A = this chain, B = another copy of it.
Amino acid sequence: MSDKMTLQEQVHESFRLYMLANGLRQTRERYAILHAIYETEGTFTIDDLQKIMEKNRFYVSTNTLYLTTQLLVEANLLIRHPFSSSASVFERIADDRPRSYQICSHCHRITRIKSKELAASLETYHSRSFHITHRIVYVYGTCASCQRAMHKRLKAANVNSSTK
């Protein structure tokens, strides 16, 4: 794929080839959804996506949104995050750089990690036969303010390392 293509053009072509390679039909709906996704940044849900489509005055059914997002995940053009227990959280894949997220399990705050070292070290991993399209890291733990809050409470509770 040429370097001169815009991101939109690249993903369009990528999706076209994927559909071709799988005997799927290229419909206006599918491309419209792809482009709606790639005109946004950050995470979104099916509900958000429906609103974007409405704003674009391109109506598609909820059914189609579910089917097409699944298709885009399978085409490696979209990722599903483990951020919610109810509605699926998606995000487009902007490029093939690894993406890293830091998640405070306690307060659920999520931040992107910008570390170039982390990204670089991930890129060194390759597999013989498996064709890698993207790598994602989730770093889980406790943020500073949640740590403080817990320490404070632990002291107040006057910990005794009893029992097991």
- Copies of this chain, tallied across the complex: 2
Q: Is the CB of A76 within 8 A of B21?
A: no
Taking a contact as CB atoms closer than 8 A, the residue among B5, B17, B74, B141 that contacts A105 in the complex is: B74
Contact partner of A141 (CB less than 8 A), chosen from B118, B121, B132, is B132
9 other contacts beyond A23-B153, A76-B142, with CB at 8 A cut-off? A16-B163, A21-B150, A21-B153, A66-B85, A70-B85, A113-B125, A130-B142, A132-B139, A133-B141
Q: Which residue of B lies closest to A80 (CB)?
A: B82
The distance in angstroms between the C-alpha atoms of A133 and B159, with both chains bound, is 22
A75 located at the interface, meaning its Cβ lies under 8 Å from any Cβ of chain B in the complex? yes
Instruction: Count contacts on A: residues with CB < 8 A to the other chain.
Output: 61
Chain B CB within 10 Å, residue with most, of A9, A73, A130: A130
Interface-central residue, A13, A16, A137, by most chain B CB under 10 Å:
A137
CA distance A17 to B75 in the complex (A): 44
Contact A74 B106 (CB under 8 A): yes
A20 touches B144 (CB 8 A): no
CA distance A5 to B144 in the complex (A): 28
Task: Tell which of A23, A81, A85 has the most Cβ of chain B within 10 Å.
Answer: A85
Q: Compute how far the CA of A21 lies from the CA of B148 in the bound complex, rounded to whole angstroms.
A: 10
Among A88, A105, A132, A144, which residue has the most Cβ atoms of chain B within 10 A?
A105
